[in-house]
Amino acid sequence: MEIIIEPDYEKMSKTSARIIAAEIRRKHDSVLGLATGDTPIGTYKELVKVHEIEGLDFSKVRTFNLDEYVGLAPPHKNSYNYFMWDNLFNHVNVSLSSVYVPQGNTDDPEQFCHWYEEQIQKAGGIDLQVLGIGGDGHIGFNEPGSSFASRTRVKALEEQTVKDNARFFEKEEDVPRFAITMGIGTILEARKILLIANGEKKADVCAQFIEGPVTSQITASSLQLHSYVTVVLDEAAASKLKRTEYYNWVRDNKHLVEKRVGR
């Protein structure tokens, strides 16, 4: 894992947007896996700027979102589909037919999940998967205990996740208890992974998934099994890491590292 520590949320967002933009420039028809939540809002804002100012072209880009609440129709204001249009898709030249977000109000979730996996395969797999991390260590809605072999499916949400996400809803009772989410197995098949996190409330869980043991109790720790992961944190989220000096050395000597390690 490459760990990049930035001083604040703004820098974290700029760096992660640069990583995504570089991927799109490298491969114009990149397949991106995208995340929702507070964390990536700044990253999407930066990407929109790169599109507007530097002409970053999304016309051939295809996107697959990680997850969606069960029961929420795409236009619902709390749906992740709405979030994505509001924060990114409406502001760049992505084509409507290239955007996939799990359908929360599907009549047949099992069949839908199967179809979603098929679409990812048909697109050639995900080139770059963007992830946030939940307070309980989840990626997507893969709550503690999720199998590392899991595929897109319906998952019941943890109490902590419901509480964390209640801020977006009028009352806690309105937060759906189930979500469709890509599985850990689905996520680990992406060619590259970019996880972003900010704020002190993520410090413990970041230390656990980066420097702790691989465990299904912190599903983000499964990323230790992947060969190409970049983690971009602000200083607050990185504040409980033990090997900060090493991460910073690697970053400051990137030219040397790239020459020797190839990345």
User: Which amino acids are annotated catalytic?
Assistant: 67, 136, 138, 143
Q: Of the ranges 73-81, 131-139, 142-150, 172-180, which one interacts with ligand PGA (CB under 6 A)?
A: 131-139
**Angle formed by the axes of helices 41-54 and 9-26, to 10°?**
50
DSSP percent split of the chain into helix, strand, coil, nearest 5? 45, 15, 40
Q: Between 19 and 98, name the residue whose CB sits nearer to ligand PGA.
A: 19
Shortest distance, position 79 Cβ to ligand PGA, whole Å: 15
Q: Between 98 and 158, name the residue whose CB sits nearer to ligand PGA.
A: 158
- Under the binding rule (CB under 6 A), the answer on residue 137 touching ligand PGA is no
Query: Do 109 and 180 form a contact (C-beta atoms < 8 A)?
Result: yes
- Under the binding rule (CB under 6 A), the answer on residue 102 touching ligand PGA is no
- Under the binding rule (CB under 6 A), the answer on residue 133 touching ligand PGA is yes
Q: Of the ranges 18-26, 109-117, 128-136, 207-215, which one interacts with ligand PGA (CB under 6 A)?
A: 128-136
Query: Site for ligand PGA (CB under 6 A): which residue of 38, 118, 159, 174?
Result: 38
Nearest alpha-carbon partner for 120 in 96, 102, 147: 102
Question: Side-chain half-sphere of 253: how many Cα atoms within 13 Å?
Answer: 11
Question: Side-chain half-sphere of 75: how many Cα atoms within 13 Å?
Answer: 0
- Under the binding rule (CB under 6 A), the answer on residue 42 touching ligand PGA is no
Q: Of the ranges 11-19, 130-138, 208-216, 248-256, which one interacts with ligand PGA (CB under 6 A)?
A: 130-138
- Under the binding rule (CB under 6 A), the answer on residue 134 touching ligand PGA is yes
**Count of CB atoms within 10 A of residue 124's CB?**
12
Q: In residues, how long is the chain? A: 263
Q: Which residues contact 138 (CB under 8 A, 6 or more apart)?
A: 144, 146, 158, 161, 219, 220
- Position of minimal CB gap to ligand PGA: 37
Q: Which spans of this chain sit near ligand PGA (rule: CB under 6 A)?
A: 37-39, 132-134
